[in-house]
Amino acid sequence: MNSQVTAGPASNDVIIVGCGPTGAMLAAELRLHGVRVLVLEKETEPKSYVRIVGLHVRSLELMAMRGLLDRVLQHGRRRPAGGFFAAIHKPAPQGLDSAHAYLLGIPQPVIERLLEEHAIELGAQVRHGCTVTGLAQDDEGVTVELADGQRLRARYLVGCDGARSTVRKLLGVGFPGEPSRADTLMGEMEVGVPQEEITARVRDLGRTHHRFWLRPFGEGIYSVVVPAAEVGDRAQPPTLDEFRRQLRAVAGTDFGVHSPRWLSRFGDATRLAERYRAGRVLLAGDAAHIHPPIGGQGLNLGVQDAFNLGWKLAAQVRGWAPEPLLDTYQAERHPVAEDVLDNTRAQMELLSAEPGPQAVRRLLTELMDFEEVNRHLIEKITAIGVRYDFGAGPDLLGRRLRDIDVKAGRLYGLLHRGRGLLLDRTERLSVGGWADRVDRLADPTAAVDVPGLLLRPDGHVAWIGDDQRDLDDHLARWFGEPAG
């Protein structure tokens, strides 16, 4: 496409390819700052799979920070936050550091719909039935080509187009890692045997077969997970016969399964994009990283990428971003994805039925009785343990701040507009010429043990102290030149 592209002024600030959870979240974040956003989505209908995902603590906090939590809670079921690391059944440690210390089970198509609605309410333009097939960039912008030959232009483009990302491939960004070694079948169906029979069989098998379950899902439907015989073509849905065969192989019976609602298969490929940015094009979500679904982290990770990138890309478009700001997206999020990939690799080993991994699993199960071990693992899975490297400073620097009581109500209630926030317990600090980008709350009673604290729009602590000059340096570091 390169030679045919005509450069010129862009009619959109940002084009997002893919309206999955990552793309929709990013579109909304950009709209908070008035950025003109066009989202291109190839599908015309909502997804047909009913994959139930878990929104973990940090994602629920993000929803609270943007005023979306009540909407999301209406559609999901709250469950305890514990028991997610390698499906080892341990309750969450006492006093998890969050006002939202639970997991929300919610169907993925519902969370996608809610996020897309939110983006549209904020003014994002979403076009379905648009498949991106080509792209080219120049000094001023990016041109995309659609399957129907149409060309569109924007100043920046973000590929949120999932694991098989066309954008990543067109950029030639490497995606190193491991191919899938084992596939798992997953679906919802009815069974032909009594519940007692299932309970006994599943309990026995569950001691060693951690990639197998058969759980009642309500209204006579069962959720079934069983290892597949071989790595297959994941574009092709499995058949009910395949489920029956695999259930017989693993459990000695197919439980008389019938009347499937949906059937799917997933692999355990683990890959991470070499870079998240190539000029004016960025990658986020599954387009940038894939890993097995154990621990339920993929969607959460993508939504959190979008939350990190949104305000930075908006600052770039609006012209107030300090030079390295956009590149902090990769600097901060690439290591987080590396860590998630590693923890899923470790969890997959712990699911093996081989004696060695089983012994390690028993040992880890014992270790998780130590509060600190259990806490460490949960903080990893829920992402509340993430600490970005903002340089030397107190432990809170670079971490997200939990939702705390402030005199105006709850802290997260003050972050709905996606702006920075100075929390000033000294009552003598100022945001000066940054008042158009950063709010200030003077509150000596705020429930945090520091004199002053600067929060970025993503809720991470960018500065701690009581010295105005030092604060000004940090405001400039994150929010650019002061106005006037």
Ligand X SMILES: Cc1cc2nc3c(=O)[nH]c(=O)nc-3n(C[C@H](O)[C@H](O)[C@H](O)COP(=O)(O)OP(=O)(O)OC[C@H]3O[C@@H](n4cnc5c(N)ncnc54)[C@H](O)[C@@H]3O)c2cc1C
Give how many residues touch ligand X by CB under 6 A.
32
Please report whether residue 103 would count as binding ligand X according to CB under 6 A.
no
Sole binder of ligand X in the list 298, 310, 420, 465 (CB under 6 A): 298
Please report whether residue 29 would count as binding ligand X according to CB under 6 A.
no
Please report whether residue 132 would count as binding ligand X according to CB under 6 A.
yes
Judge whether 310 and 30 are in contact, CB under 8 Å. yes
Sole binder of ligand X in the list 10, 12, 33, 108 (CB under 6 A): 108
Structure tokens at 8: 């010129």
Please report whether residue 19 would count as binding ligand X according to CB under 6 A.
yes
Judge whether 334 and 289 are in contact, CB under 8 Å. no
Sole binder of ligand X in the list 15, 16, 17, 247 (CB under 6 A): 17
Among 17-25, 115-123, 249-257, 432-440, the segment contacting ligand X (CB under 6 A) = 17-25
Please report whether residue 18 would count as binding ligand X according to CB under 6 A.
yes
Report d(CA 53, CA 76) in Å as an integer.
Answer: 10
Residues 221-250 that bind ligand X (CB under 6 A): none
Please report whether residue 459 would count as binding ligand X according to CB under 6 A.
no
User: CB 431 → ligand X: shortest distance, Å?
Assistant: 34
User: CB 112 → ligand X: shortest distance, Å?
Assistant: 7
Residue 288: which residues within 8 A CB-CB, separation 6 or more? 165, 168, 272, 273, 276, 305, 333, 337
The DSSP secondary structure of 205-242, one letter per residue, reads HHTT-TT-EEEEEETTEEEEEEE-SS---TTSPPPHHH
Please report whether residue 141 would count as binding ligand X according to CB under 6 A.
no
Report d(CA 217, CA 51) in Å as an integer.
Answer: 12
Residues 34-63 that bind ligand X (CB under 6 A): 40-43, 51, 53-54
Judge whether 131 and 257 are in contact, CB under 8 Å. no
Phi and psi at residue 419, in whole multiples of 5°? -105, 165
361 C-beta neighbours (distance < 10 Å), count: 20
End-to-end CA gap in the chain: 43
Please report whether residue 22 would count as binding ligand X according to CB under 6 A.
yes
Among 15-23, 85-93, 235-243, 354-362, the segment contacting ligand X (CB under 6 A) = 15-23
Residues that bind ligand X (CB under 6 A): 17-23, 40-43, 51, 53-54, 108, 131-132, 160-162, 166, 186, 266, 285-286, 293, 296-300, 302
